[in-house]
Amino acid sequence: MSDRMLDPGIAAGRLEPEQLSGNFSDLHPPLDDHEALVAADRCYFCHDAPCITACPTSIDIPLFIRQIATGTPEAAAETIFEQNILGGMCARVCPTETLCEEACVREAAEGKPVLIGQLQRYATDTVMAQGVHPFTRAAPTGRQVAVVGAGPAGLACAHRLSMHGHDVTLYDGRAKPGGLNEFGIAAYKSTDSFAAREVDWLMQIGGITLETGKRLGRELSLAELREGFDAVFLGIGLGGVNALDLAGEDREGMRDAVDFIADLRQAEDLAGLPIGRDVVVIGGGMTAVDAAVQARLLGALNVSLVYRRGRERMNASRYEQDLAAAKGVRIITNATPIAVHGNGAVREVEFEYTDDALTPTGQRFRLAADQVFKAIGQTLEGPDLPELDGRKIAISGAGRTSLPGVWAGGDCSAGGDDLTVTAVAEGRDAAEDIHASLGAQA
């Protein structure tokens, strides 16, 4: 432990640069050639394989693994990319333990699934390292499609539309494309600027014009987009953040976890990134875990993740919970925040224990806190959106909204898990539906 870890308050440089670079290196180092062959040999090439069914993008997993096993990772990558153009990122961030690998028959047989995620990364990394883009555009159709949001849904949609020969204008409100791949997600899952490299690689398809700094409701209006384009796809994610609605929520040191993660992802020098000595994360999803683990990795002495319900209700997978615990995060469940104490800056957060029905028990406790990250969910923001279903854009079929000519997918649309891989599937399927509808109009 370095001396600076004991410094109270929020401070930069709690750990030495070497420690930081070790902490933020690849969570799962890539498989080498031999490891990949050994792992691939374990696949049984199941009939109508359960792993394919479990994959939101329906990648033909047994086929790509067999292609790896026979020494053709390039063919394997093409099998993956045909279904999921962001197969490289999904190989890194998918909660495989609750998707393909949970369904793997070797999980049932031995509790040790085939390493599908790591094999997918092996194949996709191989092709991306070669700089090869395995797809080409169809003849131009002359059709123009606006894709709003350059996150996983928008990128997948734009790529598929471009493959079909349509011209795509891809808008994003931030200065860089990638969405949560670039600004969300723990840094140790996407090292060496992978998100940016993946976008560059994807854009090799051509026919996609990227326009950054364009946000719906500010620089862009949905009405104008509908006017100017043959179709519009909304993949705008969830721009807003839920509030705790507590007294003292505005105290210094209170932050949204998504902002902390975005700053961390964009930081040139992690040693310059300030972090509290005593950090409290409120929430139970992947964002909460990513924030808590990275706070520890930056050198926070005490990190507590507090969730109001029981552990089994946490949105973060068991694997992620265990990862957090292994990194020294204390997980407290069945506790609801009721007050933020301090004098200007936060000093303590007060919680009350609740039962599983969220009924307060009257038992309270306080946690010391220099810094509090709120990760209790994000919300859809923006004016003049299509009709909502609850708090998200209502869709029918492959992402059709209530507005003719407008499709939506990814986190902003109703239905499906808020996962990268789900967003890719929705973007891809909407693109196919847009393509079909444009063809029908011709």
Q: Which residues are near another protein by CB under 8 A?
A: 37-38, 41-42, 44-50, 105-106, 108-109
- Residue among 79, 81, 82, 206 at smallest CA distance from 139: 206
- Residue among 82, 69, 212, 65 at smallest CA distance from 134: 82
DSSP at 216: B
CB of 234 to another protein, least distance (A): 35
* Comparison of 36 and 408: residue with beta carbon closer to another protein: 36
CB of 38 to another protein, least distance (A): 5
CB of 75 to another protein, least distance (A): 15
440 class by beta-carbon count within 10 Å (0-12 exposed, 13-18 middle, 19+ buried): exposed
CB of 48 to another protein, least distance (A): 6
* Comparison of 12 and 37: residue with beta carbon closer to another protein: 37
104 class by beta-carbon count within 10 Å (0-12 exposed, 13-18 middle, 19+ buried): buried
CB of 81 to another protein, least distance (A): 25
* Comparison of 54 and 86: residue with beta carbon closer to another protein: 54
Axis crossing angle, helix 61-69 with helix 33-41, rounded to the nearest 10? 130
Cβ atoms of 281 and 27 closer than 8 Å? no
Between β-strands 406-408 and 231-234, what pairing exists: parallel, antiparallel or unpaired?
Answer: parallel
* Cα–Cα dist 42/85, whole Å: 25
* Comparison of 110 and 322: residue with beta carbon closer to another protein: 110
CB of 91 to another protein, least distance (A): 22
Total number of residues shown for the chain: 442
* Comparison of 68 and 168: residue with beta carbon closer to another protein: 68
* Comparison of 119 and 335: residue with beta carbon closer to another protein: 119
CB of 46 to another protein, least distance (A): 4
* Comparison of 46 and 414: residue with beta carbon closer to another protein: 46
CB of 111 to another protein, least distance (A): 11
* Comparison of 44 and 365: residue with beta carbon closer to another protein: 44
* Comparison of 50 and 134: residue with beta carbon closer to another protein: 50
* Cα–Cα dist 425/420, whole Å: 9
Nearest 10 degrees: CA dihedral of 376, 380, 382, 388?
Answer: -140
B/e letters for 378-401, b = 16+ CB within 10 Å, e = fewer, are bebbbeebbeeeeebbbbeebbbb
Q: Tell the residue number behind the tokens 């028959």, with chain if given.
A: 105
* Comparison of 99 and 244: residue with beta carbon closer to another protein: 99
CB of 44 to another protein, least distance (A): 5
Give the Å distances, CA to CA, from 334 to 32, 200, 308, 324. Answer: 43, 44, 4, 17
* Cα–Cα dist 243/337, whole Å: 12
Phi-psi region of 440 (alpha: psi -120 to 50; beta: other; left: phi over 0): alpha
* Cα–Cα dist 356/68, whole Å: 46
